[in-house]
Amino acid sequence: MSIKVGDKVPSGMFTVMGAEGPTGISTADIFEGKKVVLFAVPGAFTPTCSMAHLPGFVVHVDDIKAKGVDTVACMSVNDVFVMHAWGQSANAEHLMMLADGNAEFTAALGLELDGTGFGMGKRSQRFAMIVEDGIVSMLNVDAGALEGSSAEAVLAAL
């Protein structure tokens, strides 16, 4: 069963690139006492993710934060080095790039995508959520094309 509006975000860990290299960050550190937009993509450097999804948030991050959002975070089932390189290549320095390398958080959300048919293994579905003090207040999961999880859709929901 997947997470839904009103649910508490499950506890877990991500990896981010810190000043000294890869470092862990907990869901508590990210979500507790904050308003966070978390969006997830099936894979860094993949076509829709790189040409539309991430760039939309790069362009609109200031508008989103102006609505009272503390953090805008991008998550993918990729390693921290890939997420860091993707963020740098996309000028996403104002976004938190979260690596869910083993898909553990994605599985806890119930939002896995089976990409084995494409040689991609387990991935995350494309989604966006607004989380307020650890509680999901908006969740849009895209069934196909980039729609409800776009930066524009999130901005409209704020």
The pLDDT assigned to 132 comes to 98
Structural domain boundaries in the chain: 13-157
Least confident stretch, 10-19, 88-97, 143-152: 143-152
Q: Is the pLDDT of residue 112 over 90?
A: yes
Can you give the pLDDT at residue 113? 87
H-helix or E-strand spanning residue 157:
helix 151-157
CATH code of the domain occupying 13-157 = 3.40.30.10
pTM of the model: 0.94
**In the prediction, which pLDDT does 49 show?**
81
Exposure string over 103-113, b if 16+ CB within 10 A, otherwise e: bebbbbbebbb
Is the pLDDT confidence value at 1 over 80?
no
**Distance between CA atoms of 68 and 73, rounded to whole angstroms?**
14
84-87's contacts with Cβ under 8 Å and 24+ in sequence apart are: 84/16, 84/17, 85/44, 86/44, 86/45, 86/50, 86/54
Q: Which residue has the tokens 């969740």?
A: 139
Residues listed for the chain: 158
* 72 φ/ψ angles, rounded to the nearest 5 degrees: -115, 120
Mean pLDDT taken over the chain:
94
Known catalytic residue at 49:
yes
Asked if the model's pLDDT at residue 145 lies above 90, the reply is: no
Residues 45-62 have pLDDT tens digits of 887 888 889 999 999 999
The one catalytic residue in 49, 61, 72, 96 is: 49
